[in-house]
Every structure is written in C-alpha cells, then in structure tokens.
A and B are shown apart, each in its own frame.
Chain A
Amino acid sequence: MSLPLDPQDERFDEAPRRPPLPARVIAALRAGLSGALKPGALPELWRWPVNLALAAAFVLVLAGITHIVSILSMPSLATRNGFERLSDQFDSNTMSLLPDPTPQEATLPMMDPAFVTAVCPYDLNDHPLTVRVPATADYTSVSFYTAEGLAFYALSDQAAGKVVELDLMNADQKAALPEDEEVTAADRLVIESPSQEGIVLVRAFVRDRGLKSEVRRQLEAATCAPSGGS
C-alpha cells in the first residue's frame, strides 16, 4: 500500500516555495492525496473534504494493521512473561517454593496472598518428568502452563486423591509409552505438554494465616524430577 503520488502533478510545482510549516504540510497532504482522485472527476469545492476523508481512512486502515500486528506479536516479543520470570529465578526441573507475595515485591503479578505457591520450570527435551505433590491440610491444585504463560491443564486434590502423582511428557515421549503400560498403570496420570518448556505450578490454600508455615512445610515435600526408568 502506498500513496499514489504523481510527479507530473502540476500542483507540486505550483506550491509556494517557503510558506510556514503547517501550511506546507497541509499543501503536501492535499497534493499527495488528490493524486488519488482523477483530476477533474469532482468539482473543485468537493475535493478538500474528500481528500480529508481519504487521509483519515488511510490512517485508520494503517492504524488497524499496526494494532493487529502488535497484538499478535506481543506474546513472542514480551520478554518478561510468567515463564521467563520463573525460569530466570528458579532451577529447571526442580520444585521450588515461591516467597510469599508482599506489598514490596511479588515473584509474579496477581498472586493470591492466601496461597502458598511452588513452581517447577520444566524442559522436556531430555526426559519426561514425574510430579508428586502431597496433599496439604487444605485445597491444593496443580496447574500446567506453556512457555507462553497459558494454562493447558489443571487438577485439584479432590480430583486426584491424597497424593497427586503424574507424569509430564511431550507428544513423542507419550507415543513411545508401551501400550500395555498405559493399561496396567491406570492410576498413573499422564499429562501431555503441548510445548517442550513450561511451568508446573502448585497452589496450596492457607485457611488461616496462622497455618501458613505448616502448609509451607507440607508443600516442601512436593517434587518434580526426571522420571526414573520406564
């Protein structure tokens, strides 16, 4: 898309040499845009509003394209998304407890202060992972996020029983699972990650503030480690 500018257009040459800047801009805009119209197709009186409308439409279309492109590219351009923040600070493929959010600092924005949180940034390139989360005194959930920071799976202790134990693998590793094993290990939850990297996030509810240290201690037993053998 480009502005059709006709070098032969006489109005260019007729433009005064050095008028004040705003006048020059307007003159140039008018000259450029009226080139889009066939000369003489419209009465002289109509040309100015039509030019203005054309310019506005052109700006709007371009602004729309800019907007859409910037929205679509933001996930790949954002360098401080949830995954980046956590994998910068915490070791890959191990479970770490996050410090409690305080007014001064929080590891992630919008954390619920009534929960104790543990994270495991994972990388499935070498091997699948086994995630084991003991039930704490109260509500506990395990959520899985892609490297874009979007959740692809979550389950709570109610859905999983006393100890949440599951295997996290990529599509290839899941396809390589022996078929009979899937049948025998009925209680083994297999989660397929859509991306090689991501985050396992464990949230444990603290019913009362006095119980916080106890819940933290219970959640310290949560692990996230390479699956041993097959």
Chain B
Amino acid sequence: MRLLPLSLTLLVAAFLGLAVTWFAVSTSRGLDSVRSGAWVGWPRSGTVKADPYARAAVARSGELPLELADGLVFLAREDDKGRPLDGRCETRIVGILPQARLWTLTVMDDGGNLIANDARRYGFTSAEMIYDTDGAIDVRLSPRARPGNWLPTGARPRLQVALRLYDAPFSFASSGGHEAVPLPRIVQEACP
C-alpha cells in the first residue's frame, strides 16, 4: 500500500518529463533560434556548438543539418497571422529575399516529406524563379495550378515551407537573435 503513492508519483513525473522532451524535440531544433516573421531559423543547431536540445532534435530526426558556412535554413509552419499553413488554401509568399549566392524554397508536408505531384515540382531555386520588376518574389502555394510561380500543395491539411539561403554573407551570430533579416511575408487566403 505504501508503494502505491510513490509509484504513482514516479509514473506521473516520468510521463510529464518525457512528454515535455517529446514536444521539445519534435517542434524545435534548439533554444538558439532566429525569428523573422513566420520564419524560424536555427543557425548553430547543426554544428558542434549546438545546445543539448538541438543535439537531441538532430539525433532523433536523423537529418544532417546545414553548416552555417554552407547555408541557413528557415522553416515556416504558419502564416504571418500565426495560422498553421494549410495546403487547401491559396498561400502567397511575397517579398524580397536577403543577399545570398543562391536560395531554394521547398514545400513539404507536416512530416518533412516532399509532396507528390504530376509536375514533380517540389520547390523553386533562385535561378528558376520569375522575379517582379523590383526583384521581389511572389510564390503561390495552391492545390490547383496557378499562373506564375506555382507550387502544388496536394491539398495537405498541414504544410511547412523551407527557405534555404546558401553562402549568405550576413552574420547571424552577431544579430542578437531576433528579427535578424526581413524575409518574405506569408499570407493565406481563400481557405475552405
């Protein structure tokens, strides 16, 4: 009888601790993040300077993250208003990208997999993009074909978008961590 309260307490504590761990490694890639609008980047998470949370997240996901000297990934799971990205909506990514030798924009489902489509179009590179006259991009994420820079979403209920800037000259180490660079806005409209 005396063991019951103790084991119950231990059980609740273990469950709580592991739940927080699971949440931490599946939603974040470390404490050391850079935010810009809806985009989140973890400049040092893939390197040997990573904090324990980043190390745990990398070990669990099994990816080999970009080194900062190589490039930097920004992920967006929400639009600028904080609503989760929905593949059934018309989503526009509009704005000017920071200086970089090249960049790629990739659409993935919630689990980080590419989204199957007939055109085998999973993203754009800086070379394939059709730019506005002022150098801004205007990408449209939609379940149906759209004119211009269209990326198919396969009508997935949740999307994530990865913006990878390669060989970018700006330094994130000295930016203080918040609102480092302006990145394109993400606007969702015509949601079902």
A-to-B contact residues, CB < 8 Å: 2-3, 5, 12, 24-25, 28-29, 31-33, 55, 58-67, 69-72, 74-75, 77-78, 80-82, 84-85, 101-104, 106, 108-115, 138-139, 141, 143, 145-146, 148-156, 158-159, 194, 199, 201, 203, 205-209
Across-interface contacts of B4 in A (CB, < 8 A): 24-25, 28
Are the C-beta atoms of A149 and B62 separated by less than 8 Å? Answer: yes
Q: Is the CB–CB distance between B113 and A139 below 8 Å?
A: no
Q: Are B63 and A71 in contact (CB under 8 A)?
A: no
Which residues 1-39 of B sit at the A interface, judged by CB distance below 8 A?
1-2, 4-6, 8-10, 12-14, 16-18, 20-21, 24-25
Chain B 100-121 per-residue mask, 1 if CB under 8 angstroms from chain A, else 0:
0110101010001111100000
Q: Indicate if the CB atoms of B63 and A110 lie closer than 8 Å.
A: yes
Contact between A78 and B70 (Cβ–Cβ < 8 Å)? no
Asked if B172 is at the interface (CB within 8 A of a chain A CB), the reply is no
What residues of B have a CB within 8 angstroms of the CB of A145 in the complex?
64
- Complex-state Cα separation, A84 to B64, whole angstroms: 11
Q: How far is the CA of A80 from the CA of B60 in the complex (A)?
A: 7
Q: By the criterion CB–CB under 8 Å, are A207 and B13 in contact?
A: no
Cβ–Cβ < 8 Å partners of B18 in chain A: 66-67, 70
B5 close to A33 (CB less than 8 A): yes
CB under 8 Å from chain A, chain B span 22-69: 24-25, 46-48, 50, 52-53, 55-56, 58-69
Which single residue of chain B is at the shortest CB-CB distance from A26? B5
Cβ-neighbour of B20 out of A63, A115, A152, A205 (below 8 A): A63
Contacts of B25 in A (CB 8 A): 71, 74
A110-B162, A113-B106, A156-B69 given; 19 more Cβ-contact pairs under 8 Å:
A2-B6, A24-B4, A58-B13, A63-B17, A63-B20, A66-B14, A70-B17, A70-B21, A74-B25, A103-B115, A110-B61, A143-B64, A148-B59, A150-B46, A153-B69, A156-B167, A158-B101, A194-B48, A205-B102
Asked whether B128 is an interface residue with its Cβ less than 8 Å from the other chain, the reply is yes
> Is B122 positioned at the interface, with any CB of A under 8 Å from its CB?
yes
Taking CB atoms, residues of chain A closer than 8 Å to B70 are 141, 143, 151, 154, 156, 203
- The reply on B164 being an interface residue by CB < 8 A is yes
Q: Is B87 located at the chain interface by the 8 A CB criterion?
A: no
- A-B interface pairs (CB < 8 A), number: 209
Contact A25 B5 (CB under 8 A): yes
Q: Which residues of A contact B115 (CB under 8 A)?
A: 103
Q: How far is A199 from B62 in the complex, measured between Cα atoms in Å? A: 13
**Residues B123 and A71 in contact, CB atoms below 8 Å apart:** no
Judge whether B125 is part of the interface by a CB distance below 8 angstroms. Answer: yes
Known: A103-B115, A150-B50, A205-B102. A74 touches B6 (CB 8 A): no
Residues on B facing A (Cβ under 8 Å): 1-2, 4-6, 8-10, 12-14, 16-18, 20-21, 24-25, 46-48, 50, 52-53, 55-56, 58-71, 73, 101-102, 104, 106, 108, 112-116, 122-123, 125, 127-128, 162, 164, 166-167
Query: Nearest chain-B residue to A152 (Cβ)?
Result: B48
Most buried by B among A5, A55, A61, A63: A63
A-B contact pairs, 14 of them (CB 8 A): A3-B9, A61-B13, A62-B10, A71-B53, A103-B116, A109-B61, A112-B106, A112-B123, A149-B62, A154-B70, A159-B69, A203-B70, A205-B166, A208-B125
